[in-house]
Amino acid sequence: MFLWVAFIICTAAIVYSGMRLSKYGDIIAEKTGLGRTWIGVVLMASVTSLPELVTGISSVTYANVPDIAVGDVMGSCVFNMAILAFLDAVYRQSPISAKAHHGHVLSAGFGILLLGIAGMSLFFGDRIFPLGWIGPYTLVFVIIYFIAMRLVYSYEKRRISAFIKEAAVELKYKDVPTKTAVVHYVVNAVLVIAAAVFLPKIGEGIAETTGLGQTFVGNIFIA
């Protein structure tokens, strides 16, 4: 019972702080002029993925359960795609894909590429010659990620410049100071990280007590 209560508390903290992050990320995008796509792909995606990062680090160090680490990351990718279906149902104005602009095709394409490389690395396993203790695909991930961020940033800056020439930008948060938005963003990011630290050990306990297995728990509950 204690494990499930702890799991619910950590999950609730991540959900609440994640909702706050969306709001303050939008404010930062407006105040800095970086664009909502770039903020979403880089800043929001990085922080909202911190639970997976922290959970993964805790899984392979503190808890020593790599199956939960991989299951968490892969399961999160699958779950995030399912979220699109939910958002499409909730957004009643039109199909959500009709409102999101074409810049998201870039991040989607790079996501498919990275998932393909990850799948190949898992399939071949120890047959891939490592670089010390690190798989060669790790370097490929890092290189492709920074290329993707650069391309999305360049696209978004061009799109914003063209938009400004055509119409005035509507300011939704003109009364909110940039400093306030950044502080609230950081506070909620810290809450997300703090809650994520405990998830691997909780997941390991749930896997042992229920007999569901670490991979299943990582994919379904931790993700």
pLDDT at 162 over 50: yes
Question: Residue 195 has what pLDDT?
Answer: 78
**Which pair of structure tokens corresponds to residue 111?**
């996501």
Q: Residue 47 is encoded by which pair of tokens? A: 């922080």
* pLDDT tens digits, 65-99: 777 778 777 877 887 788 888 888 888 788 887 77
Q: How far is CA 22 from CA 40, 44, 110, in A?
A: 9, 7, 22
- Rounded mean pLDDT of 130-141? 82
